[in-house]
C-alpha cells in the first residue's frame, strides 16, 4: 500500500484535492495527508515519509522547488508530482531537473488525478517488484518475475536493445505465441480487480503446468491481460488454443464475467513478440462478431482486402426508414446488416465503418447533431462486446433521438406560438426579432430559422402581414384618418406606412379607402 502527501499553501485546494482523491478510491493508495507549506511538509516527511508527494511550486517559506531538492537528496525514492499553472513552465522544467516525475496543470480534473496517480502507483509497483526480484532466492521464480517486467517494458514503443538481449537469455524455447483475454468491463470487474488478477495467475499456471507449457503473464499491460507462451515447436499451437479455451471456461465458472480469448500466429524469435501481440490485439477486436466464451485465432481472420458488401440501395433503405421514422423497418435492417451470417466474411474495420456510417445517417437525417455531441450519448465501437449489444445500442439510439425530437418539436411549437401571440398583442409598437428571441430565451439565428419553418414566413414578413391586415380593417372606417391608422399599426411616419401599404397591396391607403367606399 502507498501513502500520499498533498502540499499547497491554499487550504481550499489542499483539502479539495484530498477529498477528490479519496472519492476516486485509487487501488493501493491508503493514506493521504496534507501540508499548507514546504516547512510543514518537511516535518511530516521526516516523521512519516510518504511514497508520493503532490506539491505546488509557489509557496511561502519553503517553496516547491526547495522541497523537491531537499527531499530528493535525502529520500530519493519519494515520487513528486508538481502542481502548476500555465505561466510556470520554467518552474516545471526546474522541478524535473531536481527529481519530479510528473506534473498537473491547475485546475486539476479528477480524470487527470486518477490517471497520473495510477500511473505513478504502477511505477512504484514495478520498482517494488524489482526490489523483490533482487531479494528472491528461488531462481525460477525470480526469472518469471524478471521476464514479466522485461516484457512489460518491451511491449512499449521505446525499447532498449539490452531488454531484448536479456529476454533471449531467459526464454528456454524458440517459438512464441501471444494470447489476450478480453473482459467485459463492469462494476463487478472494477470491484474485484485484485481477486480477478489472482485467479488469472493461479488458473493459467495450473493449466500450463498440466500441459508442460512455458508462459509469461502480464495482467495489467495496456487494455487486456496478456499471456506470452514460449514453446519448443510449432506443433504445440493447438494445445495453446485448447488451453485458452479451457482457461475462459474455468474462469467464467469462478467469476461472473464475460470473457473472450485470442491467439496470435506462431513465430520463432523473441524480437517477434511485439508483432505477435499486435496480431492478438487484432484478433481480439473481432470479439464483437464471435461473442463470449470463444478463442479467436489470428490465422482465421478474414482477408483485409475484403470490401464492405453493401450497395447504395441498401443505404437508401436505411435512409428511407429514418426519413419515415419507421422504427420497425430500421430495426429489421439493423438485424439484417449486423447478423453474423451477413458479416461472416467481413473484416472488423468494415464492421466498424458500417457502424459509424449508420450512426452518422441517424444523426444527419434526424438533424440531431447536438444530441450526439453530449458525452453520455456516445458509444465507442471498441467498447462493444457483442453484435447483440451493438444492435441494441443503435436501436435504442434511434428511439431516444425520436423521443428527443418529439419533445424538442413540442417545445419549438410552443416557442413560436408564444412569439406569434406576442406579435399579435404588440404589432402596434416598435417590435424586432432580437427582442422576441430574447423573450423566449432562444438563439437569434436559430429562432429566425425555427419561426420560418413553423409559419412559412420570416419574422419581418409575419409582422408586416399583421400590420397590413389590421390597417386594411381600420381604413374601412372613414372616421379614422390615415396618419392615425399609421400610428395604430406601428408606424411613426405616415409616409413610410403609405409606401409599405402600397408595396404590400399594390395600391395606396388613400386609393384603398376610396375604392372601398365605392364598394
- The domain in which residue 26 lies consists of 2-126
Q: pLDDT tens digits for 56-112?
A: 888 888 888 888 888 888 888 888 888 877 556 667 777 777 767 778 887 888 888
CATH number of the domain encompassing residue 493: 1.10.10.60
**Residue 432 has what DSSP assignment?**
-
In a domain, 42, yes or no: yes
Report the pLDDT value the prediction gives residue 33, as an integer from 0 to 100. 93
Question: Do 153 and 252 reside in the same domain of the chain?
Answer: yes
Report the pLDDT value the prediction gives residue 486, as an integer from 0 to 100. 95
Strand partners, 4: 32, 52
Q: How far is CA 43 from CA 36, 38, 47, 100, 248, in A?
A: 12, 9, 6, 20, 51
Point out the domain boundary residue: 343, 367, 400.
Answer: 400
Ramachandran bin of 28, using left for φ above 0, alpha for ψ from -120 to 50, beta for the remaining angles: left
Question: Do 143 and 283 reside in the same domain of the chain?
Answer: yes
CA neighbor of 62 nearest in space, from 3, 8, 103: 8
Question: Do 292 and 330 reside in the same domain of the chain?
Answer: no
Ramachandran bin of 319, using left for φ above 0, alpha for ψ from -120 to 50, beta for the remaining angles: alpha
Q: pLDDT tens digits for 22-68?
A: 998 888 898 999 999 889 999 999 999 999 999 888 888 888 888 88
Report the pLDDT value the prediction gives residue 142, as an integer from 0 to 100. 45
CATH number of the domain encompassing residue 82: 3.40.50.2300
Q: How far is CA 473 from CA 482, 483, 497, 516, in A?
A: 12, 14, 15, 11
Report the Cα–Cα distance between both ends of the chain, in Å, rounded: 99
Its pTM stands at 0.49
Question: Do 367 and 462 reside in the same domain of the chain?
Answer: no
Please tell me the distance from the alpha carbon of residue 171 to that of residue 232, in angstroms, as a whole number: 10
Question: Do 182 and 262 reside in the same domain of the chain?
Answer: yes
Point out the domain boundary residue: 368, 400, 432.
Answer: 400
CA neighbor of 275 nearest in space, from 283, 264, 285: 264
In a domain, 317, yes or no: yes
Question: Do 10 and 122 reside in the same domain of the chain?
Answer: yes
Q: Please count the structural domains in the chain.
A: 4
- Please provide the size of the chain in residues: 519
Report the pLDDT value the prediction gives residue 517, as an integer from 0 to 100. 46
Question: Do 64 and 146 reside in the same domain of the chain?
Answer: no
Half-sphere exposure of 350 (CA within 13 A, CB side): 19
| Res. 187: pLDDT tops 50 | no
Contacting residues for 379 by C-beta, under 8 A, at least 6 apart: 393, 397
In a domain, 305, yes or no: no
In a domain, 326, yes or no: yes
Question: Do 142 and 268 reside in the same domain of the chain?
Answer: yes
CATH number of the domain encompassing residue 169: 3.30.70.270
Point out the domain boundary residue: 340, 366, 400.
Answer: 400
Q: pLDDT tens digits for 114-147?
A: 888 998 888 888 888 777 765 544 444 445 555 6
Question: Do 107 and 167 reside in the same domain of the chain?
Answer: no
In a domain, 340, yes or no: yes
CA neighbor of 17 nearest in space, from 31, 26, 7: 7
Contacting residues for 214 by C-beta, under 8 A, at least 6 apart: 171, 172, 173, 208, 229, 230, 231
Question: Do 247 and 325 reside in the same domain of the chain?
Answer: no
Amino acid at each position: 500500500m502507498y501513502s500520499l502527501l498533498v502540499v499547497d499553501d491554499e487550504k481550499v485546494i489542499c483539502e479539495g484535492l484530498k477529498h477528490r482523491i479519496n472519492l476516486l478510491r485509487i487501488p493501493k493508495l491508503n493514506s493521504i495527508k496534507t501540508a499548507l507549506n514546504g516547512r510543514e511538509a518537511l516535518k511530516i516527511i521526516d516523521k512519516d515519509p510518504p511514497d508520493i508527494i503532490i506539491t505546488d511550486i509557489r509557496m511561502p517559506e519553503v517553496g516547491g522547488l526547495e522541497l523537491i531538492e531537499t527531499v530528493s537528496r535525502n529520500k530519493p525514492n519519494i515520487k513528486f508530482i508538481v502542481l502548476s499553472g500555465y505561466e510556470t513552465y520554467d518552474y516545471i522544467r526546474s522541478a524535473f531537473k531536481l527529481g519530479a516525475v510528473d506534473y498537473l496543470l491547475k485546475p486539476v480534473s479528477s480524470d487527470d488525478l486518477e490517471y497520473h496517480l495510477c500511473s505513478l502507483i504502477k511505477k512504484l509497483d514495478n520498482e517494488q517488484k524489482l526490489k523483490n526480484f533482487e531479494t528472491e532466492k528461488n531462481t525460477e521464480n525470480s526469472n518469471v518475475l524478471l521476464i514479466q517486467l522485461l516484457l512489460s517494458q518491451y511491449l512499449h514503443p521505446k525499447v532498449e536493445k539490452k531488454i531484448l538481449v536479456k529476454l533471449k537469455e531467459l526464454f528456454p524455447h524458440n517459438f512464441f505465441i501471444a494470447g489476450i483475454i478480453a473482459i467485459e468491463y463492469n462494476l463487478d470487474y472494477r470491484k474485484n480487480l485484485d481477486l480477478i488478477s489472482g485467479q488469472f495467475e493461479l488458473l493459467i499456471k495450473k493449466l500450463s503446468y498440466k500441459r508442460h507449457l512455458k508462459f509469461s503473464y502480464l495482467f495489467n499491460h495496456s487494455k487486456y491481460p496478456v499471456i506470452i507462451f514460449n514453446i519448443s515447436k510449432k506443433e504445440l499451437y493447438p494445445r495453446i488454443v485448447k488451453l485458452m479455451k479451457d482457461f475462459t471456461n474455468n474462469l467464467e465458472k469462478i467469476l461472473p464475467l464475460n470473457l473472450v480469448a485470442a491467439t496470435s500466429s506462431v513465430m520463432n524469435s523473441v524480437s517477434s513478440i511485439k508483432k505477435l501481440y499486435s496480431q492478438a490485439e487484432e484478433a481480439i477486436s473481432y470479439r464483437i462478431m464471435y461473442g463470449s466464451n470463444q478463442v479467436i485465432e489470428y490465422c482465421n481472420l478474414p482477408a483485409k482486402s475484403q470490401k464492405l458488401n453493401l450497395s447504395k440501395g441498401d443505404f437508401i433503405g436505411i435512409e428511407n426508414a429514418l426519413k419515415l421514422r419507421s422504427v420497425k423497418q430500421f430495426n429489421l435492417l439493423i438485424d439484417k446488416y449486423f447478423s453474423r451470417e451477413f458479416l461472416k466474411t467481413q473484416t472488423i474495420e468494415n464492421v466498424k465503418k458500417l457502424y459509424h456510417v449508420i450512426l452518422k445517417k441517424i444523426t444527419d437525417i434526424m438533424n440531431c447533431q447536438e444530441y450526439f455531441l453530449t458525452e453520455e450519448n456516445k458509444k465507442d465501437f471498441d467498447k462493444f462486446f457483442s453484435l447483440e449489444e451493438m444492435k441494441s445500442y443503435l436501436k435504442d439510439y434511434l428511439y431516444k433521438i425520436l423521443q428527443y425530437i418529439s419533445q424538442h418539436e413540442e417545445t419549438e411549437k410552443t416557442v413560436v406560438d408564444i412569439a406569434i401571440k406576442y406579435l399579435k398583442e404588440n404589432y402596434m409598437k416598435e417590435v424586432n426579432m432580437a427582442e422576441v428571441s430574447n423573450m423566449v430565451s432562444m438563439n437569434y439565428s436559430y429562432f429566425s430559422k425555427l419561426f420560418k419553418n413553423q409559419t412559412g414566413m420570416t419574422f419581418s414578413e409575419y409582422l408586416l402581414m399583421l400590420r397590413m391586415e389590421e390597417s386594411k380593417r381600420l381604413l374601412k372606417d372613414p372616421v379614422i384618418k390615415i396618419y392615425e391608422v399609421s400610428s395604430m399599426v406601428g408606424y411613426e411616419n405616415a409616409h413610410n406606412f403609405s409606401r409599405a401599404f402600397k408595396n404590400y397591396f399594390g395600391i395606396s391607403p388613400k386609393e384603398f379607402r376610396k375604392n372601398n367606399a365605392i364598394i
